[in-house]
């Protein structure tokens, strides 16, 4: 079942029971296992978790960008804003092509490898506008200059004729954002948009995303492992572990009263201002992440959890549809009801 928000407008994007596996000759890797969430218009949803937990794969599935070796099940529904809803999972390339870039856009993790090094940034922005908006060359160039100004690049009329290697890392990331929002998409997926950027540049990128939401009403899925970024910009949080969604709620709820032991472990590993780690070291979660070739009908976090009991190793907890819930048999907060006993 899809975890739901309390009240508010109808979701622009609904992911329900998404499962993605990659099959090879000898084994199958379950990269995403039954993930569900809703995204409201103008909302920022942060998807968090350590590397390899399935955050990026989940978002690539939304746009149909997974390789042919991927086997995907579930449902991905997109509300077009005109009273209609389209099922994206399993849609043909023509349907997906009309959605990508125009209705749902993505900022990829590494701008230097995503931008074409032999084309000016103005040309790369213009191509999106000419394809989806039907602009001529002059109109597209003028709009490209406007977009560069919108994302905070100085002297946009000059920068529009420069190549990616002539820009700093922060500016390249802003160019990626400009390309993504060129057609005023209803949903923007930002995959680690502040990775490898210094703190000052990170703050600038977050300000750009915040302004885009306020000015354009864009809903944002923010993929990150940086909880500081989540606290700064997100409205709600979806925590993933080993391909599964294990907790969801508002930022205030999850940060103030985490209910899943894994979420508590993530928060404990963050150094807070004015505090000193016990023993001079940050706390870490004991154990290791399970192999994705293993997808047991049990809690995948149980081997690392000091609260685990017998049913944690034999029954799979599911994420409830409550506003703040955890897929845990023994949630940390007493107010959080345990999920019903259900297996896959």
pLDDT at 190: 93
The pLDDT value recorded for residue 33 is 94
Which among 315, 17, 240 has a CA at the least distance from the CA of 248?
240
Q: What is the pLDDT, as a whole number, of residue 277?
A: 57
What pLDDT was estimated at residue 274?
57
Give residue limits of the domains in the chain. Answer: 111-184
* The pLDDT of residue 308 is above 50: yes
Q: For the chain, where are the alpha helices, taking DSSP H only?
A: 55-62, 93-99, 111-114, 121-132, 137-150, 156-159, 169-180, 199-216, 227-233, 251-256, 261-268
pTM, to two decimals:
0.88
- Over the stretch 72-119, which tens digit does the pLDDT of each residue have? 999 999 997 777 899 999 999 988 988 988 899 998 877 778 899 999
Q: Give 100-135 as a DSSP string.
A: BTTTEEEE-S-HHHHS-TTS-HHHHHHHHHHHHS--
């Amino acid at each position: 079942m899809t975890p739901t928000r309390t009240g508010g407008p109808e979701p622009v994007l609904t992911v329900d029971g998404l499962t993605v596996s990659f099959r090879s000759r000898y084994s199958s890797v379950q990269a995403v296992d039954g993930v569900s969430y809703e995204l409201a218009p103008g909302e920022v949803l942060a998807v968090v978790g350590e590397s390899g937990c399935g955050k990026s794969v989940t978002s690539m599935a939304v746009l149909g960008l997974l390789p042919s070796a991927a086997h995907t099940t579930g449902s991905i529904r997109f509300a077009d804003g005109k009273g209609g809803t389209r099922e994206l999972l399993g849609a043909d390339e023509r349907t997906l092509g009309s959605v990508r870039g125009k209705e749902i856009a993505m900022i990829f993790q590494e701008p230097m490898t995503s931008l074409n090094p032999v084309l000016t940034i103005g040309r790369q922005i213009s191509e999106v506008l000419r394809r989806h908006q039907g602009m001529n060359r002059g109109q597209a160039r003028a709009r490209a200059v406007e977009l560069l100004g919108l994302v905070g690049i100085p002297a946009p009329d000059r920068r529009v004729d420069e190549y990616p290697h002539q820009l700093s890392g922060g500016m390249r990331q802003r160019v990626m954002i400009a390309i993504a929002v060129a057609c005023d998409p209803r949903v923007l997926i930002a995959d680690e948009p502040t990775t490898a950027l210094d703190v000052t540049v990170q703050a600038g990128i977050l300000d750009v995303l915040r302004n885009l939401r306020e000015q354009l009403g864009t809903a944002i899925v923010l993929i990150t492992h940086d909880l500081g970024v989540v606290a700064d910009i997100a409205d709600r949080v979806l925590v993933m572990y080993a391909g599964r969604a294990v907790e969801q709620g508002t930022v205030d709820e999850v940060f103030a009263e985490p209910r899943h032991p894994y979420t508590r472990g993530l928060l404990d590993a963050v150094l807070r201002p004015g505090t000193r780690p016990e023993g001079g070291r940050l706390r870490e979660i004991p154990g290791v992440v399970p192999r994705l070739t293993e997808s047991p009908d049990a809690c995948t976090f149980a081997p690392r959890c000091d609260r685990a009991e017998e049913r944690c190793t034999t029954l799979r907890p599911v994420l409830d549809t409550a506003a703040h819930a955890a897929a845990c048999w023994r949630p940390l907060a007493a107010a959080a009801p345990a999920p019903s006993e259900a297996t896959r």
